[in-house]
Every structure is written in C-alpha cells, then in structure tokens.
Amino acid sequence: MGKALSNVGFVSLQIPGYHKGNPMRKILSEVNRAYISGLLDGDGAIMACIEKHAEKKFGFRVRIYIKISQNNEKILNWCKLVTGVGNVRHIHAKEYEWLVRTQTEAKELLELLVPYLKIKKQQAILAKRILDAEIKSSKKLIAVATLADTLSALNVRSQGRRKNFTTMIQDSISPND
C-alpha cells in the first residue's frame, strides 16, 4: 500500500509502506537523498544554536537546525513529504523555508545525506558530532560549544552575527561544576 505524491506538482510516485510511523531510511530513495543533498548544499544551512534552558543541568541546551530556503514552495513541500520531517513556512515575499528542528530527525536526516553532500559535508559531520554528544559535565558542554563555534564559523552568512558559544557558557558556569 503506497501513498500517491501527485498533490505537490511532481510526477505521481508510489512509496511502498509509506505511513507516518515509517522510518525515513525506508522511504528516502538514493536519488531523493542526492537531490535533497544538492538543495542543502546550494540553498541550505546546517546551524548549531546553544540556548539558555532552565531545565538542563548546566542551564544550556545545544540544538542543530537544518534548513533549505527557496522561492519554490512546492519543492520544499516535496522535501517534507518524502522525508516526513520538518515544516515548511513562508518567510517573506516569495521566500519559503523547510526547517528541521527536532533533534532525532535532524540526526537521521544528516546520516542519510552526508554521503551525497559536497559543500556542506564538513558542517554535517560537525553537526552529527554535536547531536551524538552526551553532555554529562560542564567540560563536555564546553567541548560541544566549541564544536558549535566551529560549525558557525563555516556558515558564511552567520560570520557577522554569530555568538561565541564557548565564551558565553564559560562565563555562565560556576567553576565548581
């Protein structure tokens, strides 16, 4: 039993076994992985963000965001549909973005796309290291913040406005932690 994908303006496809609970790996073909990787390389970003978070032991959480911006909303809706992750939102005028914010989804998507990435492969590898990190000490949090700073430095657009996460965390954590 497949689900028709004709409502997004592309050729009707059948994805065997497609349903909401199906893992992305089973439904994302090699061609689609390569195509989405190309979109990410050309019009996307892999970003690390460290946010203050009162419920976390050291007061911060590390998040990875993956986004692709386009003026073609249909292709972004297709990305969401074939992967089953993220959301498409209207930014302004004729600009839209597909944003993957859920950390487990970001990790799985990166695992599928890394072999096909050319320009953003290094960012994806750093993002995977961040997502794999278990932050059980302030030292580990600072190490992950350093990875986030390295990732941010690779994003051309964020160089003028990026924060130094490592310094921000070091300034906030008690030396006794």
Task: Report pLDDT digits (tens) over 32-69.
Answer: 999 999 999 999 999 998 877 777 777 788 899 999 99
Any idea what the CATH number is for the domain that residue 46 is in?
A: 3.10.28.10
Tell whether 121 is covered by a domain.
yes
- Please count the CA atoms within 13 angstroms of the CA of 17 that sit on its side-chain side: 8
Q: Report yes or no on 98 lying in a domain.
A: yes
> Nearest to residue 67, comparing CAs of 104, 101, 91?
101
- What is the C-alpha to C-alpha distance for residues 84 and 86, in angstroms, rounded to an integer? 7
Predicted confidence band of residue 153 (pLDDT cuts 50, 70, 90):
confident
As a whole number of Å, the CA-based R_g of the chain is: 18
Domain residue limits at 144 = 30-172
> What pLDDT score was predicted for residue 163?
61
Cα–Cα dist 164/154, whole Å: 13
Question: Residue 117 burial by CB count (10 A; 0-12/13-18/19+): exposed, middle or buried?
Answer: buried
Give yes or no for residue 122 having a pLDDT over 50: yes
pLDDT value for 48: 93
Is residue 46, in this structure, part of any structural domain at all? yes
Q: What is the pLDDT of residue 22?
A: 44
- What pLDDT is stored for residue 156 in this prediction? 73
Q: Does residue 124 sit within a domain?
A: yes
pLDDT higher at 147 or 24: 147
Separation CA 61–CA 57 (nearest Å): 9
Residue 15 lies in a domain: no
Mean of pLDDT values over 110-132: 97
Contact criterion met (CB below 8 Å) for 50 and 165 = yes
Please state the domain count of the chain: 1
Q: Is residue 19 part of a domain?
A: no
